[in-house]
Amino acid sequence: RYGGILGDFDLKNLRSKCRIRMIPVINPDCCKINQNGIYRNFPYKKISLEQERNHETISDGTKNIRGVDLNRNFNAKWLQMKSENPNRDDFGAFPESEVETASLTGRMRKDLPSSAIILRTGNDTLIYPEEATAKELREATFLGQYGRLSVRKATDTGGTALQWFTDRGVKTVEIRISDLSPEQYTRIRNLLMMCAALT
């Protein structure tokens, strides 16, 4: 049970008050490559030479097997981002050109959540949208302290999932945690539950 600046709520009763949906992996290509290597999952005959050359960058966590940065493929300031970065070719042919982003946004448009938490590997940071209200900023600061995360405002958000949700009025934060091993699951679970309680 928590009582404080965020009000009084009981985490045990949270599930009866809200519906929590999880999408465990949005980039299955990268996940398989990181687990088993590119050739075990994508035999040489099935991938182009260009994809073979790019496989090192695919495994950075954001690109799919086609070499598209999925976190730059959302229909959120996409044209502006593309025009500001004319030499980059990893944003996709058009917004939501990739099956991964199109399927996610298609599902979300049918049943838009009230809040979203984007969990990624990174440098132990909580990122809040540039459009965050003063109340949301206080909550982000609290969550950062609770989860031992640095807190900062999002920058350069063109094409990102964070911007896509924010543009649609969904209360969103992005959490990057350096260690997503099973030993960290309790910490991650508690942090996600606290995020859900805030909504």
pLDDT by position in tens, the chain (length 199): 444 444 555 666 666 777 878 888 888 887 777 666 655 555 544 444 445 545 455 545 678 888 899 999 999 999 999 999 988 888 999 999 999 999 999 999 999 998 899 988 889 999 999 988 888 888 889 888 888 899 999 998 999 999 999 999 998 999 998 887 778 888 888 788 777 776 6
pLDDT of residue 127: 94
What is residue 163's predicted lDDT score, i.e. its pLDDT?
95
What residue has token string 């959120």?
Answer: 76
| Predicted pLDDT of residue 4 | 47
Please give the pLDDT value at position 1: 46
Q: Which of 85, 90, 86 is nearest to 73 (CA)?
A: 90
Token pair recorded at residue 15? 């599930």
pLDDT at 51: 52
The rounded distance, in Å, linking the Cα atoms of 199 and 115 is 7
- Spatial CA neighbour of 167 closest among 92, 86, 112: 112
pLDDT of residue 8: 53
Q: How is residue 173 written in tokens?
A: 């934060």
